[in-house]
């Protein structure tokens, strides 16, 4: 089976911003794009993207999960990167139109159609190191995917890193490729040194996020995660799971969480930890590693509350439970 996110639909939706206006969107081949080697994005990283999914329900309908939130976040990322302002209606219609074009290719659950809108600066100007790109390209790429963890979601091993951050603090809430690239070195070193799956970045002892997902701690009926600020990504899966937890009567605590408190709580029986994200949904964390010591989170296995929250989110996405919050866009 092909690796997650490596198969693409033959065409994508594309629009450009030139002469202070957006073009109409069109379907073009997804095999290649054309831009100048001096394009702003290639030299000054003026780029952002989104990740969302469309799901096939039992009645055959196709439903996109929380599209409005992804479009809103992409508009925010573009603004913070000083890219041309996204036309949110244009982007929404591009997403719907390209998914509709390939609706017959959307896999049944647990598979889905992964949707990757991408926006970047195209000015051919290598002298613009301190100036934004006036022109840009926006496209929506589709990739049919299976379950991210095809062999089951085995509990992850996280290295707690007190030094360094995933990215520059003012870039944290922007979904930009550079943030992922900057985390790669530490992640690869952690894999080689202590067989960690990911790094949980904890600058000065403040628990933040991993290289590609938000972190939550579950202690009994309480779910704890860092309060939103500009230093880390405002995950849409994170927000959805916190809402589901509240609906279940859990106490949702969005606040500062120190490494000391994390380790203290993790030692208690019944404590759970997990990572949330579009691809992984909610994936259990079994082991925390600090100063070459390993600490089990609760039993070290996938906890019942983690799996209950994951199942509840999946059931909404798959049309097996009521969409009481209006998260699905039916096409």
Do 185 and 114 have their domain in common?
Answer: no
Contact between 283 and 290 under an 8 Å Cβ cutoff? The reply is no
pTM of the predicted structure, to 2 decimals:
0.93
- From CA 162, how far away is CA 54, in angstroms rounded? 37
Least reliable range by pLDDT among 7-16, 176-185, 195-204: 176-185
Return the CATH number at 208: 3.20.10.10
Q: Which pLDDT score, from 0 to 100, does residue 280 have?
A: 79
Q: Which pLDDT score, from 0 to 100, does residue 12 have?
A: 98
Do 275 and 195 have their domain in common?
Answer: yes
Do 173 and 308 have their domain in common?
Answer: yes
Return the CATH number at 133: 3.30.470.10
Is the residue at 132 inside a domain? yes
Three-state DSSP class for residue 149: coil
Do 141 and 166 have their domain in common?
Answer: no
Contact between 284 and 272 under an 8 Å Cβ cutoff? The reply is yes
Is the residue at 196 inside a domain? yes
Do 180 and 225 have their domain in common?
Answer: yes
Q: Which pLDDT score, from 0 to 100, does residue 153 have?
A: 67
Do 192 and 305 have their domain in common?
Answer: yes
Is the residue at 266 inside a domain? yes
Give the pLDDT band of residue 96 (cuts 50, 70, 90).
very high
Do 78 and 192 have their domain in common?
Answer: no
Q: Which pLDDT score, from 0 to 100, does residue 163 have?
A: 79
Q: Which pLDDT score, from 0 to 100, does residue 169 have?
A: 66
Alpha helices in the chain (DSSP H): 40-44, 67-80, 88-101, 177-194, 236-247, 259-266, 304-317
Give the pLDDT band of residue 2 (cuts 50, 70, 90).
confident
Q: Is the pLDDT of residue 107 over 90?
A: yes
- From CA 171, how far away is CA 119, in angstroms rounded? 16
Do 164 and 200 have their domain in common?
Answer: yes
Range of the domain at 224: 156-317
Q: Is the pLDDT of residue 168 over 90?
A: no
pLDDT digits over 311-329, tens only?
999 999 999 999 999 999 9
Q: Average pLDDT in the 230-237 region?
A: 86
DSSP designation for 106? P
Is the residue at 151 inside a domain? no
Q: Average pLDDT in the 153-176 region?
A: 81
pLDDT digits over 22-81, tens only?
999 999 999 999 999 999 999 999 999 999 999 999 999 999 999 999 999 999 999 999
Q: Which pLDDT score, from 0 to 100, does residue 149 have?
A: 60
Q: Is the pLDDT of residue 150 over 60?
A: no
Q: Is the pLDDT of residue 151 over 60?
A: no
Q: Average pLDDT in the 172-200 region?
A: 89
Q: Average pLDDT in the 244-249 region?
A: 97
- From CA 217, how far away is CA 117, in angstroms rounded? 30
Q: Which pLDDT score, from 0 to 100, does residue 265 have?
A: 94
Three-state DSSP class for residue 156: strand
Is the residue at 331 inside a domain? no
Q: Which pLDDT score, from 0 to 100, does residue 1 have?
A: 62
Name the nearest CA neighbour of 233 among 201, 186, 195, 197: 201
Number of separate domains in the chain: 2
State the average pLDDT for the chain.
93
Task: Please report, for residues 60, 81, 168, 219, 285, the alpha-carbon distance to residue 98 in angstroms, rounded to integers and kept in the order given.
Answer: 17, 26, 34, 42, 35
DSSP designation for 171? G
Q: Which pLDDT score, from 0 to 100, does residue 146 have?
A: 86
Q: Which pLDDT score, from 0 to 100, does residue 305 have?
A: 96
Residues of the chain with pLDDT > 70, as a percent, come to: 97
- From CA 214, how far away is CA 231, in angstroms rounded? 12
Give the pLDDT band of residue 115 (cuts 50, 70, 90).
very high
């Amino acid at each position: 089976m092909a690796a997650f996110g490596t198969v693409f639909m033959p065409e994508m939706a594309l629009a450009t911003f030139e002469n202070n206006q957006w073009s109409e969107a069109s379907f073009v081949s997804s095999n290649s794009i054309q831009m100048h080697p001096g394009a702003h994005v290639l030299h000054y990283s003026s780029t952002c993207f989104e990740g969302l999914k469309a799901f096939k329900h039992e009645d055959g309908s196709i439903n996109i999960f929380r599209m409005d939130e992804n479009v809103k976040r992409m508009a925010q990322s573009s603004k913070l990167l000083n890219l041309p302002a996204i036309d949110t209606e244009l982007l929404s219609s591009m997403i719907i139109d390209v998914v509709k074009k390939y609706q017959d290719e959307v896999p049944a659950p647990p598979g889905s159609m992964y949707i990757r809108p991408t926006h970047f600066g195209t000015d051919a100007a290598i002298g613009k190191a301190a100036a934004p790109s006036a022109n840009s390209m926006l496209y929506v790429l589709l990739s049919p995917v299976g379950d991210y963890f095809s062999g089951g979601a085995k509990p992850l091993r996280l290295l707690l890193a007190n030094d360094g951050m995933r990215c520059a603090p003012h870039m944290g809430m922007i979904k930009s490729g550079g943030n992922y690239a900057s985390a790669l070195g530490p992640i690869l070193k952690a894999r080689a040194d202590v067989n960690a799956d990911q790094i949980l970045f904890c600058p000065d002892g403040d628990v933040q996020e991993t290289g590609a997902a938000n972190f939550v701690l579950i202690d009994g009926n309480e779910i704890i995660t860092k309060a939103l600020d500009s230093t880390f990504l405002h995950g849409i899966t994170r927000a959805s799971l916190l809402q589901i937890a509240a609906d279940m009567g859990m106490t949702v605590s969005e606040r500062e969480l120190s490494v000391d408190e994390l380790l203290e709580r993790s030692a208690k029986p019944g404590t759970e930890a997990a990572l949330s994200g579009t691809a992984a949904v909610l994936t259990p964390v079994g082991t925390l590693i600090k100063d070459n010591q390993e600490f089990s989170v609760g039993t070290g296995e996938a906890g019942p509350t983690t799996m209950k929250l994951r199942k509840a989110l999946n059931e909404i996405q798959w049309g097996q439970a009521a969409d009481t919050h209006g998260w699905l866009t039916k096409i």
